[in-house]
Every structure is written in structure tokens, then in C-alpha cells.
Chain A
Amino acid sequence: MSNLAVNSNLLETLSVLILLSSFVLMANKRINSYIKTFRIQSFLIALAAGIMGLRSLMSEGRWDFLVVCLLIMILKVLYIPNMLNKTYKNVSYKVEKDFILNIPILVLLCCGLVVFSYFTLSGVDGISQDVLNMQLVNSVSVIWIGLLFMISRKKAIGQIIGFLVIENGLYITAMYSTQGMPFIVDLGIFIDLLTFVLIMGVMTFRINEKFDSIDTDQLNNLKG
């Protein structure tokens, strides 16, 4: 019994830490630190998945969640950040101001988003029990912050990271509210993600080649 309580405390802490990591991400100024923060966030998610996996292994004998944890480790902690680093090295030769609003305002907006998701979710039936509610609020806030991050950053890599953070948010929302999705769904999500990163990596490279910059503001010139 006490074991379970420790587990949920750990999960609670991790959920808050994941939220905190997205705040950190929003406060980052340089592209290489985005990638680092993303790596940390993914690591926290992998930890949460690992804890859930251990619990389900002990109580029900299911091992698939541990495999998911491993996959997150490989994909989101190692492969994707490395790949993004490589893309970044290929294209980065200018350091310029990357964000549209300044950092303090963005962080304040993030705080507002957390309050907003608390406000909107508190009215939904069936998730208002206290434990689940806070975890869910944290996870949904991560989605919002990811979207805001995409809006606030000019460079294509910022958009990729923002998208990945949205994906992280969705993933932990699902994970925390279902306590483990079917394995096949998890696999599907990962394959989607992998494809996205591959395509975006290539695209960024090509955009850079074409426009001498990965500043997405320049896409304006494409309008007819």
C-alpha cells in the first residue's frame, strides 16, 4: 500500500517537473539549449513511463510499458535530439533574436495558460477527482505551452521543438489518464513521430538551402 502511495507521489512530482521543464524551454534563448531542455523533458517522461511500467509489471505482470519506456529513451532522449543537433549544426551560422515577444512576457503567458487549463478542465465531468485532476492540468498545460512556443519562435527548429513538446504533452495526458495505453497505439504514435522528425529535418535543411535562412518569416514571400 505504502509502495503505491510512494509511486503516485513520484508520478505527481514528475508531472510537475515536466511542466516546469516546458517553462524552462520557454525561457531558453538559444537553439542548442532548446534541444537540451527537450532532452530533459523527454527523460522525465521516460521516467514516469518507467515507474508506471514497474507498477503494472508488479501488479498485473504486464511488461509492455517497460518496452515503451525503453522506446522513449531511445527515440526522444537519444535519437531525436541528436538528429536535431546535427540539423542545427548544418544550418546555424547566424545568431539572432529568435523570439517574437520577450521572455518574461512569454513566461507570464505560460502561467496564464496553466491557470486557464485548470479553469477549463475543472468543469469537465469525470476527471474532477483531486489526484487525476492536477496531473491532467499539468499535462494539458504542456500542450498549450508547446503551441505558444511554436508561435513565439521564428526559426524552423523552434517550430519542430514546439511540435514535439505538444506531442509530449498529448502523450503524457493520455498516459496519466489511462494508466497505460494499448501497446499498438504507442507504437503507432512513435512511428508517426519518427516520420515527422525525419521529414522536418530534411525540410529545414532544404529551406535553409533555398532561402539561406531557416527563419519562417521568410515564408511570407511564398503567398500569392
Chain B
Amino acid sequence: MELYVRNLFLMSVLLYVLGAAASALIYFFRKPDKTGMTGSFLVNAFCIVASGLGGAAAVAKILFAVNPLELINLSSAIPFISLEMNLDNLSAFFVLALSVLVFSVSIYSIGYLSHYNGKRNIGLFNLLYTMFILAMIGVLTSANTVCFYIFWEAMSLFSYFLVVFEAEKEENTKAGTVYIVMTHIATALLLIGFVIIYSYTKSFALNANTMAIPGIVKNIVFVLFLIGFGTKAGVIPLHIWLPHAHPAAPSNVSALMSGIMIKTAIYGLVRFVLCYLGIQNTWWGIVILILGVLSAVLGVAYALMEHNIKRLLAFHSVENIGIILIGLGVSFIAFAQHHQIVGGLALTAALLHTFNHTLFKGGLFLGAGAIQYAAHTKNIEDLGGLIKTMPLTALFVLCFSLAISAIVPFNGFVSEWLTYQSLFANILPEHIGLNFLAVLAVAALALTGALAAACFVKLFGISFLGLPRSEQAAKAQDVPATMTLGMGILAALCLGIGLFPLTMIKLLDKVVFSVGGGSIYGQLQGGFMLAYYPLTISVNSISPLAFILALGAIILLALIVIRIVGGKYIERRYGTWDCGFEALNSRMQYSATGFSKPIKIVFRALFRPVRKTIVEGDSMYHPESIMYSTTVTSIFEDYLYEPLYRALLRFSKRTKFRVQTGSIHNYLLYIFALVLLLMLYNRFA
């Protein structure tokens, strides 16, 4: 069995490599128009098959193989540089998430890329796309830190090139710069962490024994990893690259970046902190929990203020990473105190939410891409009425919106429910201060859910319902079938996992068990697909399937009762909300700005809104035109990064000519002093 899984996985990697090679060929020997699209179809077909195989291999690994599989082991003559790739349960789970997403995104891309046809080199795009996927597979399966580091950097670079793929727009290159700077600082911190660990363990292998590391050093390494991975994940206040980079990238790439690339940071935290370092202190979990709560609440709050679909979704990624981190934080707290069951439950919740977020956020970005493809705008205020021209897209986006707002019967509900349960389960008599935090986290999570639902009412209502608000939206055409299919697969999965959550939890249980958590699957009650809840908290149970059946029954019953009581219907057809005016136009509709205004006022302290009204005309009582614009201050950029950036710039400007004098003697003197110091160091070391 092991051999089959290994071969299956290697075959999938080989197919990705073939895809990359094919797109490289197309890139170098391209002919415009025809060949571009055929080639693109070919490469995407490669990716579809490869991700199918990879996903199958990952599932098979989790279900049937117990020990980690050694996939590739190429050692080189250079010390420490050897390509080692292993597939254990944790890696396999993330590879599964990656494969599912790549599968549907690649189907989607076949149609989506057609708008680049003749304008851009699709070969280049596909080359970067496949290399990006390969790099992520490398990150997820690396068995030593050197490999991990190399693949991590490759992943960042390929995604950078994809972010700046439409480089002629200035905002895209700026977004790319912010992204690459943030990600490089983060990676540098990771590298420092790896080297510190190496200096104690004398090994780069990921299964090395880290007992030799003293406690204080472990704390330092934890902080380095937290900042390093936190930046990639988009944790507040390190999130600033996310709302820039996601809108800049083409939509299928944003789906991958938001769907799985930021999750590699979650993988990194679990892999390096939980499995590699081992949880040492309770405060590690507490810090992660607090960061999670902050990111969840602030992420959704900023999302509400956004009218650019993709920026809005990017802020929702911050929010969902926050929810994942809440689960992760609880599990770290529980593991530090040796509550393996609670830890297992919380980790299951976090990983399940990771997987769910991959599905619905990937889907939402694909939906945003479809809207952009059809209506050529990302601004919600210019959309409207799209449900009539693109009904299937509207349906799928509605599914994703319900899922991300954690509404029964979709998958988002399941993982948030588990997160709540783990937070409740973590309230124990021996934690005094922690209980307080857990209760606060529950409240924050509830607030987050409500605000997210409000935000998606805005997104869906403004862009799909009502009348078109612009020329482009009115002329929108439905998207190609492949794009719809790509979204449909993800929507079906969202619903499937929501209705039959135990299928996923069974897989996850093995993953969590393999990283040291208690197995919770045995403690779930209520049969295969109905209820699920841990025994330890016996009063809490819920079954989405039963829930939805009951809901259906109630609605049916209500209809019947109305029919019986109310008698026959009288049907009239006329414009809704018209009231006899008969000249309704799109300017009379509710706008996105109007929708989010109450929340803006409630959270005034956070948003610090600035509004500007310009009245033109002979008097303010008889205006000819009124210009109204409102903006929200982004606290972190204005009060944290901007001063930091300015200080750095000032410092560099001032010291530039002091250090870099241009005099050859000065440079020689630097060398001289350095070598002297090194000799002295050697003498005393």
C-alpha cells in the first residue's frame, strides 16, 4: 500500500513538472492567439490530473498508511543540502487541501485565462502557476529545514511574480513590493530560527530531537516563528501585504494564494511549534489565541468598509486566519497543560477550518474573478443585477457566502461550531485568568460571525440583486462553462462537508492523533452523519443534516398551514417597491456605502472615518451637484508602518554618506577593522 501511495504521489509531482515544462515550451516558442489557448488547456489538464492523483494519494496516505512515507531522498556532496521529502499525515492533509483547490482552480482557469488571449503570454502565466504549485508541495513535504527554506522562498517568489503579472498597472507593482518586503523580512526571521535550532541539535532534519534546546532559546525561536509564519498568514498587525497583494493578482492566483498559500503558514506553525519544538509554555498558546481574536474581529471590521470585492475578500482571509488561530491557540494551551483531548478537539477545529476556508475562500475569489470577467470591475458600487445574467455564479457565490458566514448547513458552520466547543471545553476550574480569555474569545467569535454575515449580505445583495449600477454591469455576459464548473465543485464540497462532517473529521482525527493530540473520533456520538460532539461536554450536540431537514419540514408545514388558513392566492404582477412611481432607477437603490454606514458609526473609534462633501451651485439650499466621499483610516498603515518607514528612510538618508563615503581607503579600513575583530574573536572564543 505504501508503495502505491508513494508512486501515486510521485506521479502527481511528475505531472506538475510536465505541465511546467510544457508551459515553458509554450512560453519560449509561442504563437499568438490559437496555440496559446490550446497550450493553456493542455497545461491545465495536466494540473487537473496531477491534483486528482495528489489528492487521492493524500487521502490514501491518511487512511491506510501509518508511518511517514519517504518520497524523495537525494543527498548531495555538499553538506546539509539534500532533497528530502516525506509525506506524513499532517503534510498529506495539507496536500489534500491544495489538491482539491488546484483541481477546481485549474478547471476554472481554462475559461478564465481566455481574457488574456492575444494580450499576454499565457505560457508564462502557466509556467509561474505550475511552479507556484510545485513550490507549495515542496513546502508541505520537506523533511529538513534547508529544503523547507528553499521551497518557502521559491513559493514567495513565484507568488510575487504572479502578483505583479499585470505589471503595467502601478498599484500592482506597489502591491508586489509591499508583499515581497514583508515576506522577505518574515523569511529572514524563519531562517534565524532554523539556524538557532541547528546550533543546538546539529541537525536540519525535521524529526530531530529538540530536547537539547534550553527553555529560553525555545521561547526566542517560538517568537521568531510566530512573526515569520504570522506574516505569511496575514495576522494583524502583520497583515498589510494581504489587502494589497490579493486584489493585484489574477483571480485564480488570488484563490490559490488566499486558499492555500497563507495556510502553509498554519502548517508551519503546527509543524514547527507543535511537532518540532514541542509546546513548552502556556503563554505560547495564549499569545496565539489573542492574535487570533484580534485578527478575526479587526479583519472582518475592515472587510465591512471595503467596496473592492477582492480587497474585501482579502480582509476576510485575515478574519478566517484569526478563527483558525483561535483554534490553534486553544490547542496549544491545552497541550501545554497535557489536556490531550481538548487539544485534539481544538486542533481538529483549526485544521477543519483551514480546509473549509480553502474551499469557500478559494471559491469566493473564483466568484470575484467571474464577476470581474463578466463586468470588468471590482468595485461593488458599480455592480448590481448580476443574478439575472449569471444565475449559476450567483448561486455558487451565495453558497460560499453562507459557508463563510458559518450558516447551517454549510461547512463553515461545522468548524466554527467545533472552535466554540473547544473554547468552552477549555474553561476549566484550574484556569483562573484563562477562563476569562476563553469567554472573551467566544464573544469575539460570535461578533465576528455576525459581522461576516452582514458583510456578505452586502457583497451578495449589492452585486447580484437589484438593478445594474453601471453600463458595464448591465452589459455583463455569463462566464464560460468551465469557470462555472470550477466554482460548482467547490460549492458542492462546501455543502457536502457541511452535511456529512464526520467524513472529514474521521480523516482529521488521524492527522491530529499523529501529531500527539487525543483522538476525539471515538468520543463522538450520534452515528455516521448525524450528530457529532465530544462526550466530555454532553449537553452540546448539533446535527446540520437533521437541522436542515427540520427547517424544511417547518417551512413546508407553514406553507400548508397558510394555504389552509388563508385560502386561495390572488396574484398580481408589478414592480416591487414601486408604489406607483413607475420610474425607479438604479440610483435609488441601497448602496454598499449606505449599507455599511451604521457599522462605521458604531465603530467610529476604530475606523476614524473622514468624509468630504462638496456642494456646487449658487447656494447650499439649491445645489446643482453634490460630491460626497468618505474614507476610512487604516490604523496600522498610518500609525505603525508609515512612521516606521519614514524613520528608516530618514536614517538611511542621513547615514548614507557617512558609511558609504566613496573613499577606497575607508572601505579598506572597514575590511581591516573587521579582520582584526575576527582575529580577536578567534583568540578569545
CB neighbours of B669 from chain A (8 A): 151
B662 touches A150 (CB 8 A): no
Q: How far is the CA of A23 from the CA of B472 in the complex (A)?
A: 83
Q: With A217-B663, A219-B662 known to touch, is A147 a contact of B682 (CB < 8 Å)?
A: no
A100 touches B663 (CB 8 A): no
A123 touches B664 (CB 8 A): no
Interface: A168 (CB within 8 A): no
Contact for B680 among A120, A150, A219, A220, CB less than 8 A? A120
CB neighbours of A124 from chain B (8 A): 682
Instruction: Choose, from B96-104, B242-250, B671-679, the stretch at the interface.
Output: B671-679
Min CB distance A200 to B, Å, is 13
Contact for B679 among A120, A154, A159, A222, CB less than 8 A? A120
B668 touches A219 (CB 8 A): no
B668 touches A123 (CB 8 A): no
Interface: B657 (CB within 8 A): yes
B683 touches A120 (CB 8 A): yes
Tell me whether chain A's interface is mostly helix, strand or loop, or mixed. helix
Chain B residue at smallest Cβ distance from A162 = B668
B-side interface size class: 10 to 19
Min CB distance B639 to A, Å, is 33
Min CB distance A112 to B, Å, is 11
A220 touches B662 (CB 8 A): yes
CB neighbours of A117 from chain B (8 A): 679
CB neighbours of B663 from chain A (8 A): 216-217, 219-220
CB neighbours of A223 from chain B (8 A): 657, 660-662
Chain B residue at smallest Cβ distance from A147 = B672
Interface mask (A92-124 → B, CB under 8 Å = 1, otherwise 0): 000000001000000000000000110110011
Contact for B683 among A100, A123, A147, A220, CB less than 8 A? A123
CB neighbours of B679 from chain A (8 A): 116-117, 120
Contact for A159 among B664, B676, B683, CB less than 8 A? B664
CB neighbours of B665 from chain A (8 A): 100, 151, 154, 216-217
Q: How far is the CA of A120 from the CA of B675 in the complex (A)?
A: 12
Find residues 105-156 in chain A having any chain B CB closer than 8 Å to their own CB: 116-117, 119-120, 123-124, 147-148, 150-151, 154
Interface mask (A189-224 → B, CB under 8 Å = 1, otherwise 0): 000000000000000000000000000110111110
A120 touches B672 (CB 8 A): no
- Interface residue count on the A side (C-beta < 8 Å): 20
CB neighbours of B675 from chain A (8 A): 147
Q: How far is the CA of A73 from the CA of B576 in the complex (A)?
A: 104
Chain A residue at smallest Cβ distance from B662 = A223
Chain B residue at smallest Cβ distance from A119 = B683
Q: With A120-B679, A124-B682 known to touch, is A148 a contact of B672 (CB < 8 Å)?
A: yes
Q: How far is the CA of A117 from the CA of B676 in the complex (A)?
A: 9
Interface mask (B638-677 → A, CB under 8 Å = 1, otherwise 0): 0000000000000000000100111111001101100110
CB neighbours of A151 from chain B (8 A): 665, 668-669, 672
CB neighbours of A123 from chain B (8 A): 682-684
CB neighbours of B682 from chain A (8 A): 120, 123-124
CB neighbours of B664 from chain A (8 A): 159, 216, 219
CB neighbours of B662 from chain A (8 A): 219-223
Q: How far is the CA of A159 from the CA of B664 in the complex (A)?
A: 10
Q: How far is the CA of A181 from the CA of B20 in the complex (A)?
A: 49
Chain B residue at smallest Cβ distance from A152 = B665
Contact for B661 among A116, A148, A216, A220, CB less than 8 A? A220
Q: How far is the CA of A222 from the CA of B657 in the complex (A)?
A: 12
Find residues 473-517 in chain B having any chain A CB closer than 8 Å to their own CB: none
Q: How far is the CA of A221 from the CA of B661 in the complex (A)?
A: 10
A147 touches B661 (CB 8 A): no
Interface mask (A69-110 → B, CB under 8 Å = 1, otherwise 0): 000000000000000000000000000000010000000000
Chain B residue at smallest Cβ distance from A219 = B664
CB neighbours of A119 from chain B (8 A): 683
Find residues 28-87 in chain B having any chain A CB closer than 8 Å to their own CB: none
CB neighbours of B660 from chain A (8 A): 223
Chain A residue at smallest Cβ distance from B669 = A151
B657 touches A147 (CB 8 A): no
Min CB distance B593 to A, Å, is 47
A150 touches B683 (CB 8 A): no
Min CB distance B96 to A, Å, is 52
Q: How far is the CA of A151 from the CA of B668 in the complex (A)?
A: 6
Q: Give me 13 other A-B pairs in contact (C-beta within 8 A), A220-B662, A221-B662, A223-B662 excluded.
A: A100-B665, A117-B679, A120-B683, A123-B682, A147-B672, A147-B675, A151-B672, A216-B665, A219-B664, A220-B663, A223-B657, A223-B660, A223-B661
Contacts from A to B (Cβ < 8 Å): 100, 116-117, 119-120, 123-124, 147-148, 150-151, 154, 159, 216-217, 219-223
Q: 9 tightest CB-CB pairs across the interface, nearest first?
A: A223-B662, A120-B679, A220-B662, A120-B683, A151-B668, A123-B683, A216-B664, A150-B668, A147-B672
15 residue pairs bridging A and B, Cβ less than 8 Å apart = A100-B665, A116-B676, A117-B679, A120-B679, A147-B671, A147-B675, A150-B668, A151-B665, A151-B672, A159-B664, A216-B664, A217-B665, A219-B663, A220-B661, A222-B662
